Chain A
Amino acid sequence: MVKGVDDLNSLHLDVLREIGNIGAGNAVTALAKLLNRKVDMDVPMVKIFKFNELSETFGGAELPVVGILLKVSGDLTGYIMYILERDAASTLVNMLMGRPLYEMSEFSEMDISALKEIGNILTGSYLSALSGLTNLKIVSSFPDLAIDMAGAILSVPAIEFGKVGDTVLYIETQFVEGEKKVVGDFFLVPDYDTYDILMKALGVIG
């Protein structure tokens, strides 16, 4: 039985990478439609880190980031989180609002709603890929958003991973629009048997 990330082998990781690929592919298409322009994507990377290394990989625990969290229910339960740097979030919102990409300002109410919607679309695309591959029914909630230090936002998924192991798994995606790169990370935050259900549904384990 796959209890936590620590139990995943290279085959499992390949499967997760492929889910990330298809999910992010869907997300890019959705994002391009939303932004009404061409968006490219790099191959997503599955990343696994120990808790004490986690925030360093994000450019420091105090780096301001935007986290968008949705509750997942149905055959698979848990949470899904999309995290991106505050500056990258600003770029995305500027694209959506048709403002100059490099403009930085405080997010307005409208910007926050737009970011939630982007989070909704990206995580929704990811989950529908997951659902399509596994035939599992997966429903996500309305998104909630927080802007704070990377360490503080990451503590939310990290704690859930912490219940079953000592490592965190996430899928890093990079969207490229023109010269701007938007790096964002998906965390499929597991309930205790999420990865087990997932691997069984995919026929990777019996």
Chain B
Amino acid sequence: MDNIIKVGMADLRSSRHPCRLTTLGLGSCVGIALYDPGRKVVGLAHIMLPSSQQARNNSNIAKFADTATYKLVEDMVSLGAVKSHIVAKLAGGAQMFSFNDTSEMLRIGARNVTASKEILKQLNIPILAEDTGGNYGRTIEIDSASGKLLIKTIGHGTEVI
């Protein structure tokens, strides 16, 4: 069942069981992992920016927390997921550089996390677990069998949420 589907930066994918969806090296970006445990449909988005509303160029819907989440839910429903059964896990949103500076660019990770949570709340999707913030990158992988999210780092251990 080693059906591993890679999700790139500003990209989203969904699939039926059995499969694992993975995205490598999340930094300030956020991985939004969705799962319908009953139908075993999974979805994963690797978003870069909080909102399509503030963007000058918003043609790539997978780039933004809002449009990517809506699209991911839609795709999962078309694969047989029941919208009201979908649950979420979040990872990423790190601040990779410390800089003594409160500029918008460096806080983008936190803003991506906040925006992702807001969208999930609007869609009534509960967040079961998250591993966000910090100053390090993460590779994540969601398993369609269990909905478990594996998180790997360099120097900050491995965990399953």
A150 touches B97 (CB 8 A): no
Which residues of B (130-161) have their CB < 8 Å from a CB of A? 135-139, 154
Residues of B within 8 A of A55 (CB): 8-9, 24-25
Of residues 32 through 89 on chain A, the ones whose CB sits less than 8 Å from some CB of chain B are 51-55, 60-62, 64, 67, 69, 71, 79
**Is the Cβ of B137 less than 8 Å from the Cβ of A149?**
yes
Is B27 a contact of A69 with CB atoms below 8 Å? no
Chain A residue with Cβ nearest B55? A163
The binding surface of chain A is classed by DSSP as mixed
Q: A153 in the interface, Cβ–Cβ < 8 Å?
A: yes
Across-interface contacts of A152 in B (CB, < 8 A): 25-28, 94, 96, 136-138
Query: Which residues of chain B (51-65) have a CB below 8 Å from chain A?
Result: 55-57, 59-60, 63
Residues from 1 to 34 in B contacting A, C-beta threshold 8 Å: 8-11, 24-29
Does A151 contact B63, Cβ atoms closer than 8 Å?
no
Q: How far is the CA of A52 from the CA of B45 in the complex (A)?
A: 12
Q: Are B8 and A51 in contact (CB under 8 A)?
A: yes
- Taken together as a complex, chains A and B put the C-alpha atoms of A192 and B55 apart, in Å, by 11
CA of A40 to CA of B139 in the docked complex: distance in angstroms?
36
Instruction: Tell me whether A159 is interfacial, beta carbon within 8 Å.
Output: yes
Interface size class on chain A is 35 or more
Contact of A166 among B25, B26, B60, B139 (CB under 8 A): B60
B49 close to chain A: CB less than 8 A: yes
Contact of B25 among A6, A79, A151, A165 (CB under 8 A): A151
| A153 and B8 form a contact (CB under 8 A) | no
A-B pair number, CB within 8 angstroms: 118
In the assembled complex, which residues on chain B have CB atoms less than 8 Å from the CB atom of A156? 27-28, 96-97, 105
Contacts of B135 in A (CB 8 A): 146
Q: How many B residues touch the partner, as a band?
A: 20 to 34
Q: Are A155 and B25 in contact (CB under 8 A)?
A: yes
Q: Smallest CB–CB gap between B47 and chain A, Å?
A: 10
Interface residues of A in 132-176 (CB under 8 A from B): 144, 146-156, 158-160, 162-166
State A55–B135 Cα separation when bound (angstroms).
19
Report whether A155 and B24 are in contact in the complex, using a CB–CB cutoff of 8 Å. no
A159 and B49 in contact (CB under 8 A), knowing A149-B137, A151-B26, A153-B137? yes
User: A166 to B27, Cβ gap below 8 A?
Assistant: no
In the complex where A51-B48, A62-B24 touch, is A165 in contact with B9 (Cβ < 8 A)? no
Complex contact A146–B55 (CB within 8 A): no
B108, CB-defined interface residue at 8 Å: yes
CB pair A53–B8 under 8 Å, yes or no, is: yes
A6: min CB distance to chain B, Å: 8
Given contacts A52-B8, A54-B9, contact A151 B137 (CB under 8 A): yes
- Is the beta-carbon distance between B136 and A148 smaller than 8 angstroms? yes
Beyond the given A4-B57, A6-B57, A51-B10, please list 4 additional residue pairs across the A-B interface where CB-CB is below 8 A.
Answer: A54-B9, A64-B154, A146-B96, A162-B48
- Please list the 5 inter-chain residue pairs (A to B) with the smallest Cβ-Cβ separation, ordered nearest first: A151-B25, A152-B137, A52-B8, A152-B27, A155-B27
